[in-house]
């Protein structure tokens, strides 16, 4: 399709598969994350496999000065932007709120809410200038249904959804579209990050579930960006067949 797509958190999981889905579709991708080695390997792989342009951006979305200094020049060098996938994010811990650490909470808020806000602020002027573009935010069922041990993470994902709804209103006079994708449990390194590297505990989250895979979510992201100019898909909720609400799963 030859569009210009910026995906944050593209070094792993859902973001990586979103970048791949766009690349397979013939779009050029600007991929961002903190891990430079992964970005370089993905660039080489995608350019070779899909014959598209891949630009890389080592970026910590939670650092405002990093976003302010790097995003605008990266988009200018990339030649503009059609779609922003605000995917970078994480959970830290699953302890009851009273036992959780403020440090974990600050990391989640700084990344999932402020990081998404900084990146959107940096990107939106490009879209407003040409009166069109599409912002796709990675929310979560956690933003709809709170669950035990998830108070802060769930609050960040509710904020992602509300930011999207508000920005859609504020840009209504333009042809900019805003979508929130709200996946339930998706099998990615997300849980290993949440449990601070405890791979065994992370695996137990997905045990007994035919879990949604990151490429399933990426297919939906690609779909929402491929709709006619006259319509926008505002929200999509995706769950495993064995999930009915946030963390409410039937294990087999």
50 is catalytic: no
Q: Name residues whose C-beta falls within 8 Å of residue 136's C-beta, 6 or more positions apart in sequence.
A: 83, 84, 85, 86, 179, 181, 221, 224, 225
* Euclidean distance between CA atoms 154 and 136, whole angstroms: 18
Partner touching 138 among ligand NDP, ligand 8X3, none, CB below 5 to 8 Å by kind: ligand NDP
Among 28, 86, 140, 171, binds ligand 8X3 (CB under 6 A): 140
Distance CA 137, CA 247 (A): 21
Q: Given candidates 15, 133, 149, 246, which one binds ligand NDP under the rule CB under 6 A?
A: 15
Per rule CB under 6 A, count of chain residues that contact ligand 8X3: 8
Question: DSSP assignment of 49-107, as one string?
Answer: HH---EEEEE--TT-HHHHHHHHHHHHHHHT--SEEEE--------S-GGGS-HHHHHH
Closest to ligand NDP by CB, 12 or 225: 12
Q: What is the closest distance, in whole angstroms, from the C-beta atom of residue 72 to ligand 8X3 in the complex? A: 29
Q: Which stretch binds ligand NDP (CB under 6 A): 34-42, 44-52, 69-77, 95-103?
A: 34-42
The alpha carbon of 250 is separated from its chain's Cα centroid by a whole number of angstroms, namely 26
Q: Give the C-alpha separation, 52 to 59, whole Å.
A: 22
Structure tokens at 197: 């590297």
Task: Name the segment binding ligand NDP (CB under 6 A); options: 43-51, 75-83, 86-94, 123-131.
Answer: 86-94
Angle between helices 116-130 and 151-170 (to 10 degrees): 20
The pattern of x and - marking residues 181 through 210 that bind ligand 8X3 according to CB under 6 A reads ---xx-------------------------
61 binds, among ligand NDP, ligand 8X3, none (CB under 5 to 8 A by kind): ligand NDP
133 touches ligand NDP (CB under 6 A) = no
**8-state DSSP, 212:** B
Options 6, 12, 81, 135; binder of ligand NDP; rule CB under 6 A: 12
13 binds ligand 8X3 (CB under 6 A): no
Distance CA 103, CA 14 (A): 25
Q: Which residue has the tokens 């405890």?
A: 198
We find the least distance from the C-beta atom of residue 188 to ligand 8X3, in angstroms, to be: 9
Residue with tokens 């407003």: 128
Told to check if 93 binds ligand NDP by CB under 6 A, we report no
Beta bridge partners of 180: 137, 235
Catalytic residue among 50, 118, 145, 153: 153
Binding residue for ligand 8X3 (CB under 6 A) from 124, 142, 202, 239? 142
Active site residues: 153
Binding interface with ligand NDP (CB under 6 A):
8-15, 33-35, 38, 59-62, 87-90, 111, 115, 138, 140, 183, 185-186, 188-190, 193, 214
């Amino acid at each position: 399709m030859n569009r210009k797509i910026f995906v944050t958190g593209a070094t792993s999981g859902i973001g990586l598969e979103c970048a791949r889905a766009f690349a397979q579709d013939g779009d050029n991708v600007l991929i961002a994350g903190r891990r430079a080695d992964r970005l370089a390997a993905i660039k080489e792989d995608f350019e070779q496999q899909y014959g598209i342009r891949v630009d890389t951006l080592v970026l910590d979305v939670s650092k405002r000065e990093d976003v302010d200094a790097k995003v605008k020049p990266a988009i200018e060098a990339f030649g503009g932007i059609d779609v922003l996938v605000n995917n970078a994010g994480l959970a830290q811990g699953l302890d009851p709120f009273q036992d959780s650490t403020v440090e974990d909470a600050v990391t989640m808020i700084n990344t999932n809410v402020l990081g998404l806000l900084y990146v959107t602020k940096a990107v939106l002027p490009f879209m407003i200038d040409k009166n069109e573009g599409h912002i796709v935010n990675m929310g979560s069922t956690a933003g709809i249904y709170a669950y035990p041990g998830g108070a802060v993470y769930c609050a960040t994902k509710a904020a992602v959804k509300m930011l999207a709804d508000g920005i859609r209103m504020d840009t209504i006079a333009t042809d900019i579209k805003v979508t929130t994708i709200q996946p339930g449990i998706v099998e990615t390194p997300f849980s290993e990050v949440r449990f601070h590297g405890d791979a065994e505990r992370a695996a137990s989250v997905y045990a007994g579930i035919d879990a949604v895979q990151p490429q399933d979510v990426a297919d939906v992201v690609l779909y929402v960006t491929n709709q006619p100019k006259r319509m926008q898909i505002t929200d999509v909720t995706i769950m495993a067949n064995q999930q009915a609400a946030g963390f409410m799963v039937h294990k087999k």
